[in-house]
């Protein structure tokens, strides 16, 4: 009897295996993104309409955090399994330099705006690299607990460094980028001089010395979900994270948290297509990108998450939140009320200095 069971089990495995292979051959594409609410917004705004239109099945892989390393490994192994990858601009520039992402000509491969403006003009300054098609503008900024800051809520980036007025823990990202700039701004360096100062040895020492003043009160985060959790716990008084995460904490979860938009740092997130795809897969990936980055689609994404569309022509189409029914425009980082004092992530500077300053920052952290 046991023999029969065993035979039956082996037979089942043998039958199941080819079925699994067959599924892999179907008309599928793998799109890599960040997961969470962000992936959900892409699913609703891009994937679902695209699947309906073309019949292609989209598999969502939540691996953007390690996209650079994984694409290098895939390239080395000669087996690229991703079709379209969502990465931040700085990662896209690295991948482009290493030849891991293909160059995309905006005027040839992207849809023009409804009024006929070419894609290149419509995206404008946002096209920071040859391989990178921007999708959203997001910002790294601060949120604070309204019930833990007393009667005068913080409205200045330097309140983060003011332990007397706002005692308690704050959460900052466990990396040099953004923190160094904020530290210099609050150490009296003028906004336009920040990167000049940060390029010098003394400037870096100065920034770390400023961070030293609050080091004992900092909880360092590495995932975007950390600060929302810490704020909800009341574990920190204020903390930096992506503005869309804070929107979700405030509007969707109704936590006693408010935004501190001062000196928010703008960054871009968008698509790349890996090199080494077969011609059919590459054509499909380009077709997907043309669909997903047209004016209406980019505006649609803002119904689900508070990130600003990267096309100028999408901004007037931004409407209301799909479930909450509130106007999304005032929650965008690019809204004039929120963008009174902003900082654009300097790609060239960080491309040159990243390794050096990051090493110093990590050494300082370990001290």
Partner 1 sequence: MAILTPIQKQPLSFTLPVVAAAGAFAGIFVGAAQGSTLLGILIGAAIVAALGYVALQVLGDDQERMARWAYVALFAVAGFFFGGLPGVVVGAIFGWFFGWFTYWIGLGRYRAKLVPYLTPGQVLWHYAFRVICGAIFVFLITPIIVVMPLSFNAEDFFTFTPEMLRFDPEGYSLKHYRDFFTNDDWQQALWNSVRIAPAATILSVGFGTLAAIGLSQPHVPFRRAIMAILISPMIVPLIISAAGMYFFYSRIGLQGTYMGVVLAHAVLGIPFVIITVTATLVGFDRSLTRAAANMGADPVTTFFRVQMPLIMPGVISGALFAFITSFDEVVVVLFVGSAGQKTLPWQMFTGLREQISPTILAVATILVFISIALLTTVELLRRRSERLRGLSPG
By the rule CB under 8 A, 253 interacts with partner 1: yes
Site string for partner 1, 288-317 (x = CB under 8 A): ------------------------------
| Token output for 334 | 């690019």
Question: Going residue by residue from 203 to 232, which x/- string records binding to partner 1, judged by CB under 8 A?
Answer: --------------------xxxx-xx--x
Q: Which is nearer to partner 1, 59 or 190 (CB)?
A: 59
Closer by beta carbon to partner 1, 82 or else 350: 82
Residue 79 touching partner 1 (CB under 8 A): yes
Residue whose CB is less far from partner 1, 129 or 244: 244
User: 24 vs 202, which CB is nearer to partner 1?
Assistant: 24
Nearer to partner 1, 217 or 342 (CB): 217
Q: Which of 27, 48, 62, 196 binds partner 1 (CB under 8 A)?
A: 62
351 touching partner 1, by CB under 8 A? no
Minimum distance from CB of 353 to partner 1 (Å)? 27
Q: Assess 76 for contact with partner 1 (CB under 8 A).
A: yes
Q: Are the CB atoms for 337 and 331 separated by under 8 Å?
A: no
- The window from 70-78, 129-137, 292-300, 352-360 that contacts partner 1 (CB under 8 A) reads 70-78
- If one asks whether residue 21 binds partner 1 (CB under 8 A), the answer comes out as yes
Contacting partner 1 (CB under 8 A), which of 3, 55, 336, 337?
Answer: 3
Q: Is 324 in the site for partner 1 (CB under 8 A)?
A: no
Task: By CB under 8 A, name the binding residues for partner 1.
Answer: 2-3, 6, 9-10, 13, 16-17, 20-21, 23-24, 28, 30, 32, 34-37, 59-63, 65, 73-74, 76-79, 81, 223-226, 228-229, 232-233, 253
């Amino acid at each position: 009897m046991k023999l029969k069971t065993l035979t039956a089990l082996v037979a089942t495995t043998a039958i199941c295996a080819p079925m699994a292979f067959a599924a892999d051959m179907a008309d599928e594409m793998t799109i890599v993104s960040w997961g969470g609410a962000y992936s959900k917004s892409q699913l609703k705004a891009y994937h679902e309409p695209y699947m309906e239109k073309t019949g292609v099945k989209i598999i969502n892989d939540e691996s953007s955090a390690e996209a650079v390393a994984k694409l290098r490994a895939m390239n080395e192994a000669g087996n690229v399994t991703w079709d379209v990858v969502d990465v931040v601009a700085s990662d896209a520039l690295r991948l482009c330099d290493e030849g891991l992402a293909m160059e995309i000509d905006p005027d040839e491969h992207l849809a023009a705006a409804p009024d006929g403006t070419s894609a290149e003009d419509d995206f404008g300054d946002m096209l920071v690299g040859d391989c990178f098609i921007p999708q959203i503008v997001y910002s790294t900024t601060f949120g604070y607990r309204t019930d833990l800051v007393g009667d005068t809520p913080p409205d200045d980036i330097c309140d983060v460094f003011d332990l007397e007025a706002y005692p308690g823990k704050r959460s900052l990202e466990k990396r040099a980028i953004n923190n160094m700039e904020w530290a210099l701004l609050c150490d009296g360096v003028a906004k336009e001089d920040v990167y000049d100062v940060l390029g010098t040895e003394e400037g870096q020492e100065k920034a770390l010395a400023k961070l030293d003043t609050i080091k004992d009160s900092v909880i360092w985060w590495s995932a975007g979900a950390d600060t929302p959790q810490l704020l909800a716990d009341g574990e920190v008084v204020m903390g930096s994270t992506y503005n869309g995460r804070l929107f979700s904490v405030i509007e969707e979860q109704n936590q006693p948290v408010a935004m501190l938009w001062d000196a928010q740092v703008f960054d871009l997130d968008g698509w790349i297509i890996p090199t080494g795809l077969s011609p059919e897969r590459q054509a499909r990936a380009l077709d997907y990108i043309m669909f997903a980055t047209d004016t209406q689609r980019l505006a649609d994404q803002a119904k689900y998450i508070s990130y600003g569309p990267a096309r100028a022509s999408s901004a007037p189409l931004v409407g209301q939140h799909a479930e909450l029914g509130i106007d999304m425009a005032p929650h965008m980082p690019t809204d004039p009320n929120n963008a009174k004092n902003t900082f654009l992530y300097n790609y060239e500077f960080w491309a040159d200095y990243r390794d050096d300053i990051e090493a110093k920052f990590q050494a300082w952290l370990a001290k």
